[in-house]
Amino acid sequence: MQFSEWSLLLLLMKLANYTAIAALAGTLLIRFISHFHLNGNQHTAFLYFLKHWQIKCLMVGLIAAILQTPIEAGAIAESGFMGMLDRPMLEIVWYSVIGEQARLRIVSFLVALMVASLWNVKAENNNAEKFNFALMLIIAALIAYSFSITGHSANENGLVKSILTFHLAALACWIGALWPLLKSFTLLIKTDVEKIMHHFGQMAIIIVVVLLVSGLALLQQYLHSFSALFTSTYGQLILLKLLLVSAMLLLGAWHKLFLVPNINRQRYFETLKGSIAVEMVIALFVLITTSVFTTLVGPPI
């Protein structure tokens, strides 16, 4: 695995994109849960937080999407910073699959920013807000699909691309929901925190099933032998990701089975809050690891 300044820029760009889709998917999941199970002024304050957090992360995603073409052009030209401004190279990248991916993301993030800005958090039950939510779901799906246009799945069939999209969407929902869940401890009353944690735990079961099934299918597609998990850099990074996700699973099970049922006791309330913070740190390493093996390392041949 070769590493350079361009590799670092590409890695940071991929991480920014992963963070943006995670924030979008996670806030949509928490918005969905809040819509059915929370109400009152504190609920409105929490929704304002979701809206502002979503807009900030979408802006990060838009900036990363805009920078994708010049960074890719500079990495290919290998002629220093000026390579990012090389017009012929920019045109080559812009009209390649990389440019196709960048165009899809730029449009998606721009539309998502407009839709997020138009979200009226005080009118969650009218048809306009339901349409707003549905439109954001479609945009999130398009951004998740954009990751299958380039990289390991670029030449794969539609089924593999669909599996990758579902896998990324499930991981994004889980990781992206952690920061809103942590903020709920300061923005909501304890009974509402319990409600949102309980229903997130129920949704997490579906998320984990999708994540595991799609993940196993992708492993079978990209690793043609079990030994490749241990003998290739790609396989070793996959193992690291599996280890980190397993740690998140164990924490999630601890939350659902023990901490959430006892959340009314202050000691368990604080323990749950701290545990979610730890899970967020692990989730960051999951995103970093995923960014590394999807940007710098290819599947073994």
Query: Average pLDDT of each block of 10 consecutive residues along the chain (301 residues)?
Result: 72 90 94 80 85 94 92 78 80 89 94 93 77 93 90 75 91 95 92 91 92 88 76 84 92 91 88 94 93 76 58
User: Cα separation of 51 and 280, whole Å?
Assistant: 20
Q: What is the pLDDT of residue 79?
A: 67
| Ranges of each domain in the chain | 5-295
pLDDT value of position 298 = 66
DSSP code per residue over 221-270? HH-SSTTHHHHSHHHHHHHHHHHHHHHHHHHHHHIIIIIGGGTTSHHHHH
Query: Which alpha helices (DSSP H) does the chain contain, by range?
Result: 5-37, 41-77, 87-94, 97-117, 127-146, 158-187, 190-222, 228-231, 233-254, 266-295
Integer Cα distance of 156 and 218 in angstroms? 11
- Other beta carbons within 10 angstroms of residue 209's beta carbon come to 11
Per-residue confidence (pLDDT) for residue 300, from 0 to 100: 62
Looking at residue 82, its pLDDT comes to 73
Specify the pLDDT at position 206. Answer: 93
CA distance 188 to 170: 26
Which pTM does this prediction carry?
Answer: 0.89
- Fold for domain 5-295? Formate dehydrogenase/DMSO reductase fold (1.20.1630)
